[in-house]
Structure 1
Amino acid sequence: MTVKTLTDIAIALAAVFGSFTAWKGLTIWREQNVWQEDNNLARRLLIALYQYRDSIYSVRHPAMAVSEMELDVGDPPDLPEDKKRSRGVILAYSRRWERHLPQRNELDALLIEADAVWGKKLSEMAEPLKLLEHELYAYIWLYLDAHFRGAPELRAQFQKILASKRDILYDTMDEEDEYRIDFNKKLAPLEDYLRTKMGRQR
């Protein structure tokens, strides 16, 4: 075998090795890039879930500030005191829910992004949280209808409806709160799933 032949073989082998190294490097880079993107999305989702949870807790806060109950500019200034209080409570819960909506919208947008990247598993896991949110929303407005908006003939009927539901209006502000326990129990699988995307475990 001549020197030229050996040289040609060496050059060919070097080219093959170089191509393999480049391919391997590109594969590693792609895997690292995918992992980084997954990590970033998972972190944003986890933060959004905690903000969503805390926002719902705020809606249930038992203390109602005077500023939350301020009447709108268009409300009659000469309302009787009981009417002012009723109107104020209704406005307070409306304002609390309005403050909550951006947190829900942010979470929904991130869940759509997760659907596109990972499939629908996370959105399906989030459904029990959405059901708890809906339960609270329905309870609040039934409560307001029964106590502050309902016509006298409807109030008894609303009371029957409320009596068939668990009382979740007020947060007891501790970990024995039934709604908190239920919410955190349904949140835990999402936390675990997202932490695996971040390369972390509980």
Structure 2
Amino acid sequence: MLRCNVLLTIKQKRKEDHMAHEEEILTIMESLKIADKHTVGDIMASKGIWNAGTSAVNNTYKALNALVDLGKLEKGNGYFRVKGCRSEYKGHAQELTKALAEILKLNHKNHILREVEIKEVGLRSDAIVLMLKGDELLCFVLEVANNETEEYLKQKVNAWVLWEDAEKKLSELFGTKVEQFDIVVKGMDGAGDFDFEEYVGFLDE
């Protein structure tokens, strides 16, 4: 009887762990919106949940498929996405996911809004991030230059820079006071306030 109880306890613990891991992965996917098993696995490994490499990827893949079976995610050709996401994970979508994954691997508390339409100034930003780094609340607009021309990217950056109500809009989006924000660009040097690699280095200090 004792052995049976021990086995039942172990089985229950494993079930609880699996459910917790699935919830963690769902939270990651809600930030990324679309990603492949390798990217999500790397994030899980950065949290110390699984060992980096094959273990993290295989366990992540099982959890992603379980979430598909539960109707919480959709599965595409080599990728997974949240319900309502119409992307097919090509080109720019992949590059944006990779950039957001680097932010998530820093393991700071954050709130990521991906591909945000700002009707007031007629632009669609790749991502807007609110992050708590220590005691400091940071907000930044992220643009990933893939196929965009330099002129088009500068138009997007200038729309934020010249908009007097930018901080007010950001405060509304996140439901908290945003007093200032940075513009971070990946893939085109000097286009924003900071280059992506430089900014991630600062966040990782």
Q: TM-score, normalised by structure 1?
A: 0.26
Larger RCO (alpha carbons 8 Å, 6+ apart): 1
- The structure that is strand-richer by fraction is 2
Work out which of the two has the higher radius of gyration on C-alpha atoms and give 1 or 2: 1
- The structure that is helix-richer by fraction is 1
